[in-house]
Copies of this chain bind each other. A is one copy, B any other.
């Protein structure tokens, strides 16, 4: 087993890969009148038994001026999630019952998503945005969560 991995290595050395194309995210964007079916992001996942570590590699771009973003979800169980930015620039949107937080992600910081809150990452940069997320395998994903705040190119 290879023990030392660059974030780049993880793109070849994963246990599971998730590909999100525009067609997987039609409900996320207001206007779905788009030509083609671009890949918005890929997630390269390593399995650690009771949790997973996923490297999300998100392209830079927009759908009718709305930035590329992750599908976003809320966990079914009350589980926290840990985010670490590894490349590029972007925002982390955390929507709790009463309030919404928009965080400009930085390297060398940790981001902890509280249990029961919806969360989504948005690539507002000119290059790829890459981040590591760590979450309990039993957390479950509710992708029907409705986010209020949206992010557009000026």
Residues of A in contact with B (beta carbons under 8 Å apart):
1-7, 10, 46, 48-51, 53, 77-82, 84, 86, 92, 94, 101, 103, 108-114, 134-139
Contact = CB atoms under 8 A, between A and B. Distances in A.
Nearest to A134: B134
Given A2-B112, A6-B108, A49-B78, 17 more contacts: A3-B101, A3-B113, A3-B114, A4-B111, A5-B110, A5-B111, A7-B109, A46-B112, A48-B82, A48-B134, A48-B136, A49-B77, A49-B79, A49-B139, A50-B136, A51-B136, A84-B84
A47 to B, nearest CB: 8
B110 A7 contact: yes
A112 B49 contact: no
Contacts of A136: 48-51
A78 B26 CA distance: 41
22 contacts: A3-B94, A4-B110, A5-B109, A5-B110, A6-B108, A6-B109, A7-B108, A7-B109, A7-B110, A46-B112, A49-B77, A49-B80, A49-B139, A50-B50, A50-B79, A50-B138, A51-B51, A51-B136, A53-B82, A82-B134, A84-B84, A134-B134
A94 B11 CA distance: 23
A3 B111 CA distance: 5
